[in-house]
């Protein structure tokens, strides 16, 4: 059966986007001559461009969690290098979305080096400098592997984010590994039972990402998003991509009352 875009996402402090909002987000992210664009690549915080006022969102996760694949799906182009070898992303890479001729991008997506196996310890200090001090940063999306769940390194990152009060949100990647025992089963659809099992497993993450009674600072945003590069809803649109696009726009401040289409057929921002 066709799986709704937000079927296995979990919203408790926020509202799930409606179809018009998802369509709007897809339109903003639609590739054009001016979007996406690679803006810069850096390895040290002190060399980051300071003049930009464009809102930024960062993507962080364990090495080989599927971060670069997710960014490619979000941007609709193979613009990030992907590899099965852990730790392939070794720099901070910035990509502009929603730009027009002669205009700045509407939002910047940051592909951050992975942590855990295959990563380098010295990257951690530079990444934390960026996440703690970057004025343009609106939210960090932390990817959790749907197959392996939250690991010790993930818990350590979440603790740091709470300690420094860095706004963050969880995305469960590779959610197809929860939805079906084998990838081939996804071709015939997902059973209601499997869908419920997946929803339950996602909901079990809530007390981990928003621990109660621990004086550590604010937990993650009260919604968990999911994605899969194996579940294709419509041509070019993988499960979970549209809601993540909407979450990015929301983080950047573009979730107010907006027209989905202007008289010229372009997004109104």
Query: Tokens standing for 88?
Result: 């392939």
Beta bridge partners of 60: 142
State which H helix or E strand residue 126 sits in: helix 121-133
Segment 1-23, tens digit of pLDDT:
568 889 999 999 999 999 999 99
pLDDT band at 53 (very low <50, low <70, confident <90, very high): confident
DSSP code at position 73: H
Just give the CATH number of 10-81+89-251: 3.40.50.300
Using DSSP, state whether 215 is helix, strand or coil. coil
Segment 224-255, tens digit of pLDDT:
999 998 877 777 778 999 999 999 999 999 97
If one counts every other C-beta atom within 10 angstroms of the C-beta of residue 97, the result is: 26
Segment 145-177, tens digit of pLDDT:
998 999 999 999 999 999 999 999 999 999 998
pLDDT band at 50 (very low <50, low <70, confident <90, very high): low
pLDDT at 263: 34
Query: Tokens standing for 62?
Result: 């364990």
pLDDT at 244: 98
Using DSSP, state whether 85 is helix, strand or coil. coil
Of 145, 113, 144, which is closest to residue 131 (Cα–Cα)? 113
Segment 70-127, tens digit of pLDDT:
999 999 988 876 655 544 456 889 999 999 887 789 999 999 988 876 555 656 777 8
> Domain boundaries in the chain?
10-81+89-251
pLDDT at 265: 45
């Amino acid at each position: 059966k066709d799986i709704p875009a937000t079927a296995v996402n979990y919203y408790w402090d926020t509202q799930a986007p409606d179809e018009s909002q998802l369509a709007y987000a897809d339109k903003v992210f639609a590739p054009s001559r001016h979007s996406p664009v690679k803006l810069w690549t850096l390895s040290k915080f002190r060399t980051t461009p300071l003049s930009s006022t464009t809102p930024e969102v960062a993507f962080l996760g364990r090495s080989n969690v599927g971060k670069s694949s997710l960014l490619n799906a979000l941007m609709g182009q193979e613009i990030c290098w992907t590899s099965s070898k852990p730790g392939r992303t070794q720099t901070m890479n910035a990509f502009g979305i929603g730009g027009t001729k002669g205009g700045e991008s509407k939002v910047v997506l940051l592909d951050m080096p992975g942590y855990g196996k295959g990563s380098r310890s010295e990257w951690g200090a530079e990444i934390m400098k960026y996440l703690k001090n970057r004025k343009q940063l609106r939210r960090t999306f932390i990817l959790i592997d749907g197959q392996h769940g939250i690991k010790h390194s993930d818990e350590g990152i979440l603790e740091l984010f709470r300690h420094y009060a860095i706004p963050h949100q969880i995305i469960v990647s590779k959610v197809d590994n929860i939805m079906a025992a084998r990838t081939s089963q996804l071709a015939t659809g997902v059973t209601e039972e499997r869908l419920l099992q997946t929803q339950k497993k996602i909901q079990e993450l809530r007390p981990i990402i928003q621990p109660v009674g621990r004086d550590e600072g604010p937990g993650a945003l009260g919604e968990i998003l999911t994605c899969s590069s194996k579940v294709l809803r419509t041509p070019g649109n993988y499960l979970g991509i549209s809601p993540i696009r909407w979450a990015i726009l929301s983080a950047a401040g573009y979730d107010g009352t907006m027209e989905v289409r202007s008289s010229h057929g372009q997004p109104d921002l």
